[in-house]
């Protein structure tokens, strides 16, 4: 018996599960070489941006109080702007999460009487209250911003005719969600996003195109800002934080859009000039440095998961063969038992709270109970091994993360072990 198999058996993986999974991971070696090539390209891109912007030891020191003249904070934002090929960036620990970053982008660049358009269907659940699709105090709707939505066609293509008809003189901003959220649609490639932006700008050139970039950073060698996006937005406890950054978010884009966001984040008249970085800068810099490699590990884990469950007959999105444009893998179980069993297995593979059984609960911002498995070093970090899903039809689980491929692989095997022990799958 080889040493790794022996250790897997000791860790709770049965021989049947191990043997089933081994055949699949051995078949993916050539596929993983492409992932490594993307990671290498992006790693060099980040290093070059850090060198070009003269990152120094002094940049890691941080500030307190008002945070005036924070060399590290200002340099980090220049690094992000270089990597995303934008005029400016706002990268702050004061941005609490991805939803906050997106709300900041929307609320700072829309005014009463403006209209927001989503040409890719329903936004992520937590944005429904930000926009005002579901009532919430302080929503865009409460401030007189209206909203239109054009769903994707059944095959996942853009409905260009309806998008054209939806754009009017009040359409000031377009929000494009790159990843699928709690839906079973395909993730959008950067190339497809560029085509959509070009189409929209051809109808109304001054519209602001914002891309929710969450889960997509560094999965390709270009970003949405390279193909015309005016703003790209994301969370630092996802891909760009590299698993090291404990909190924060970023916006990268046109200078005016970033300036508006900075005034909304802090105060009119203060903008980017304030906001102490405290002791956060080492993890923000190092996390961004690690991000291409960590994202590659998460992408490999997602591909492994897709192939495991696809071969067992479960619907998986994306399938095991297509190119990856984000780190999320969904598996459709069509019942709560399978969804919960999968999450229980992921939790059992966690280095933190691996002894805990996840239970569905009514999370803030969601319209149905959600089960989440995440034994992470950073609470809620979805670049670390995690899985979640709402308890509603079609009972799909959304798996993502894995700081190392070895951990991601173990998590998927443990999820299968959980389903196997409950008799949900047979091997």
- Beta pairing class for 88-92 and 249-253: antiparallel
Mark 150-187 as b/e (b = at least 16 C-beta within 10 Å).
Answer: bebeeebebbbeebeebbeeebbbbbbbbbbbbbebbb
CA separation, residue 187 to residues 86, 168, 319 (Å): 23, 27, 11
The pLDDT value given to residue 1: 61
pLDDT one-digit tens code per residue, 219-257: 999 999 999 999 999 999 999 999 999 999 999 999 999
Cβ neighbours around 18 below 10 Å, total? 16
Closest CA to 347 of 368, 367, 372, 364: 372
The pLDDT value given to residue 17: 96
Closest CA to 155 of 178, 184, 181: 184
Give burial (CB, 10 Å; 0-12/13-18/19+) of 23.
Answer: exposed
Domains of the chain: 3-42+289-421 (3.90.1150.60), 64-278 (3.40.640.10)
pLDDT one-digit tens code per residue, 341-382: 999 999 999 999 999 999 998 877 777 899 999 999 999 899
Lateral strand order in the sheet of 88-92: 88-92, 249-253, 231-235, 208-212, 171-177, 115-118, 146-149
Q: Is the CB of residue 382 less than 8 Å from the CB of residue 400? A: yes
Low-confidence ranges of the chain (pLDDT < 50): none
């Amino acid at each position: 018996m080889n040493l790794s198999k022996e250790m897997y058996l000791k860790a709770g993986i049965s021989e049947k599960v191990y043997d089933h999974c081994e055949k699949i991971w051995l078949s993916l070696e050539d596929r993983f070489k492409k992932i490594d090539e993307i990671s290498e390209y992006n790693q060099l891109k980040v290093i070059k941006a850090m060198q070009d912007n003269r990152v120094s030891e002094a940049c890691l020191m941080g500030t307190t109080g008002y945070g005036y003249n924070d060399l590290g904070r200002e340099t980090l934002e220049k690094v992000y702007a270089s990597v995303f090929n934008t005029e400016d960036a706002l990268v702050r620990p004061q941005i609490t999460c991805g939803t906050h970053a997106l709300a900041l982008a929307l609320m700072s660049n829309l005014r009463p009487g403006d209209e927001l358009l989503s040409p890719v269907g329903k936004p992520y659940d937590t944005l429904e209250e930000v926009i005002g699709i579901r009532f919430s105090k302080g929503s865009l709707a409460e401030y007189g911003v209206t909203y239109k939505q054009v769903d994707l066609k059944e095959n996942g293509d853009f409905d260009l005719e309806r998008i054209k008809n939806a754009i009017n003189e009040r359409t000031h901003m377009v929000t494009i969600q790159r990843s699928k959220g709690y839906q079973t649609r395909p993730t959008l490639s950067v190339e497809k996003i560029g085509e959509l932006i070009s189409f929209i700008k051809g109808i109304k050139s001054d519209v602001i195109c914002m891309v929710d970039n969450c889960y997509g950073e560094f999965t390709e060698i270009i970003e949405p800002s390279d193909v015309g996006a005016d703003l790209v937005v994301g969370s630092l406890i996802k891909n760009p934080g590299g698993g090291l950054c404990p909190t924060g978010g970023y916006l990268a884009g046109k200078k005016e859009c970033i300036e508006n966001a900075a005034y909304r984040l802090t105060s009119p008249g203060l903008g980017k000039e304030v906001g102490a970085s405290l002791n956060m800068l080492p993890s923000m810099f190092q996390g961004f440095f690690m991000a291409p490699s960590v994202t590659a590990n998460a992408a490999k884990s997602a591909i492994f998961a897709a192939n495991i469950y696809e071969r067992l007959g479960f619907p998986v999105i994306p399938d095991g063969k297509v190119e990856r444009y984000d780190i999320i893998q969904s598996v459709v179980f069509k019942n709560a038992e399978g969804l919960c069993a999968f999450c229980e297995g992921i939790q059992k593979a966690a280095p933190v709270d691996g002894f805990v059984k996840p239970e569905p609960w009514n999370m803030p911002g969601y319209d149905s109970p959600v089960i989440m498995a995440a034994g992470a070093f950073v609470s809620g970090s979805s670049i670390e091994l995690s899985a979640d899903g709402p308890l509603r039809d079609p009972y799909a689980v959304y798996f993502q993360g894995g700081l190392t491929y070895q951990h991601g692989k173990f998590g998927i095997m443990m999820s299968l072990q959980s389903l196997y022990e409950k008799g949900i799958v047979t091997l």
